[in-house]
A and B are shown apart, each in its own frame.
Chain A
Amino acid sequence: MFAHIFTNRLKCLVRNPITLFWTLIFPIVLGCFFNLSLRNVYGDETFSPIPVAVVNNETYQKDAAFQTALKSVSEGKDKIFTLTIATKEKAESLLADSKVAGILNDGTTIGMTVNHSDFNQSILQSFLDSYLQTSSAVSSIMSQNPAAYQKMAENLKDQTDYTKNVPIGNASPNGALTYFYTLIAMACLYGCFWGMQEVTDIQADMSQQAARINLVPVHKLKIFFSSLTAAFVINFSEILIFLAFLRYVLNVDFGPRTGFVILTSLVGCITGLSFGSFISAIVKSGEGLKTGICLAFTMTGCVLSGMMSQDILYTVRQNAPIIEFLNPVNLLTDSFYSLYYFTSLSRYWLNIGLLCAFIILFCTVTYLIIRRRKYASL
């Protein structure tokens, strides 16, 4: 009986073009748009050396310490600056053309010239402040207590870090990923449309087909479970197709934990299905209202999870962190995020645990409503 209901239900669902569009085609199209708009913004977040011009004049040539300091930050694998030693005119021309972030040593004193303030300029300023402070301190010590110079030089060589850097993960940062993860969460939650359909087709007071189903000599919950399994298979297959599309067509990185990514998607699909069933069971009005509620809930969840702007997620985190834990879309997004960024799985399991709690809640309420087999009115 299970096979009979399952296969026929599968046929019904696969031939439903509207739900297929919303649960598969729409996320893929949205993914393409995200890819177009986000690739350039978050294309490469690895640090690139900042191009800087240095005016090659008498001040510069006489200041060996400055030259040494510049050399130490503009050579090697981890260099901060790419230096261009040039005349004052050439340096100004490079700055005007935005080919350099700033000019160090503008010709008279060791200072800097920039034409706007930004991230690179802040680094440049920070380097210069540090150099000027250190050179000032060294000059002061040498003039007041030359004997202490030797001791200071030894201390400088023997600097100790009192903090320890522990890597939280090996993944390279990429702000665009969160948007794609939100999109996967949305696609999972769109499984609610399948769940909604299943309850509509089993509750005799909701559809004619359901009334007929309630007359057959098969337990109602057996039919519901078989049908819901078919819906789950379709929903999960859609998500796997979507994940493959993101990974292999749009090159979205999920990190090395593929098994966990699939597990998260599976939990996401069950959350979506159970949520749709829950809404369909508790809302007695027409299908339009149920669809509206499912859409509104999912999209609100997406917005609060940072689908439109990461600032919204940050604001929620700062002002109402409880919402993060009550929002299934965010729990799913954060699960993918945790898998990608963090070596530890504690945050991931917390999210999955909360999602399972939601599933249990949705399923329990749905069961309590649909187990009823006689109706007050039809």
Chain B
Amino acid sequence: MVISINNLVKRYGDLVALDHLSLEVQEGEILGLLGPNGSGKTTAINCILSLLKYDKGEIRVFDRPMAPDAYDIKRNIGVVMQNVAVFNELTVQENINYFCGLYVPEKEKRKQYVEEAIDFVGLGEFRKFYPKKLSGGLLRRLNIACGIAHHPKLIILDEPTVAVDPQSRNNILEGIERLNREGATVVYTSHYMEEVEQICSRVVILDKGRIIANGNKEELKNMISLGERITVETSVLSTGLLSALKNMPGVETAEYDGKQLVIKSAKGKNTLENTLDFLKKENIAYGRIYSEMPTLNDVFLQLTGTELRD
């Protein structure tokens, strides 16, 4: 077991940030910690890292109790903080070298690690740049390089893609998958469900400091009653026809905004064929039509009643 959290409680005054949280992270997995802002993701991470005091519970990392002076454990953890944490007075290379040097005292080995980290995040041509000269995306990459240069066995990434352009985001996500393939266990927190869906082998959904769902993507989607979602582009749909659609077998909800008709069907029901038959029968002109399986956002919405990014 890489991380084991048992019955963790953290309070800020009257606010319960973590409410009897219990969680295990297995070796080799990419665990997504998903939840809206304020759900307790970062607090949980900071407790795992022994930065924050907690009121109750036990945290073990690599099967040993985690503490601020557990240096053998810390040596094998790489952390990419939510905010960029680099020194503006050091260049890209110097920043990575400095943080890597706090884990790896051997100069030659460190030099190799720093080069690998620079290549990993693609900052080779920016190695002599100061952070102030880097764009937001490049800064995030530097932040990641500083966190992973020392080849940790456990990598914790706390919303590493906030305010990052799509291209940089893809680079970061691909990099995380590569690190995992190379043997690192990854804990990835985000409130972007697409990212979590893309890279995580298991997802834990947190809300108000509690775990409300825990499993792989399919398991989570099976937790909800929702099936496929059909979207039809059409500009002609009367209220009567909409009511008829709603009464079709397997349809949970049907909504029309004057341009798009969105039908959510019950789990296990194939509504697409019935919908197409209905449109043809009623001679309704339509443009594009597509069907999607439920997303983690749908899972979150159904479990908590709120949107993930609310």
Contact = CB atoms under 8 A, between A and B. Distances in A.
Interface of A: 1, 4-5, 8, 11-16, 204, 207-209, 211-220, 223, 373-378
B51 A8 contact: no
B71 interface: yes
A217 B102 CA distance: 7
Residues of B in contact with A, size category:
20 to 34
Q: Which 7 A-B pairs have the closest CB atoms?
A: A208-B85, A217-B71, A373-B68, A15-B89, A216-B102, A217-B74, A12-B89
Contacts, number: 83
Given A374-B53, A375-B52, A216 B74 contact: yes
26 contacts: A1-B101, A4-B105, A8-B97, A12-B89, A12-B90, A15-B90, A204-B51, A208-B85, A211-B51, A212-B147, A214-B51, A215-B74, A215-B77, A216-B99, A216-B102, A217-B75, A217-B103, A218-B71, A223-B102, A373-B69, A374-B52, A374-B53, A375-B51, A375-B53, A376-B52, A377-B12
A5 B69 CA distance: 19
Nearest to B91: A11
Nearest to A205: B51
B53 A1 contact: no
A211 B53 CA distance: 14
B101 A8 contact: yes
Nearest to B85: A208
A208 B69 contact: no
Contact of B81 (A5, A211, A219): A211
Contacts of B99: 212, 216
Do most interface residues of chain B lie in helix, strand or loop, or is the interface mixed? Answer: loop
A5 B79 CA distance: 19
A204 B68 CA distance: 12
B213 interface: no
Contacts of A11: 89-90, 94
B71 A211 contact: no
Interface string B79-93: 101011111011000
A172 B51 CA distance: 60
B72 interface: yes
Interface string B90-130: 10001001110111010000000000000000000000000
Given A374-B50, A378-B51, A212 B90 contact: no
B46 interface: yes
Given A215-B74, A373-B68, A378-B51, A209 B85 contact: yes
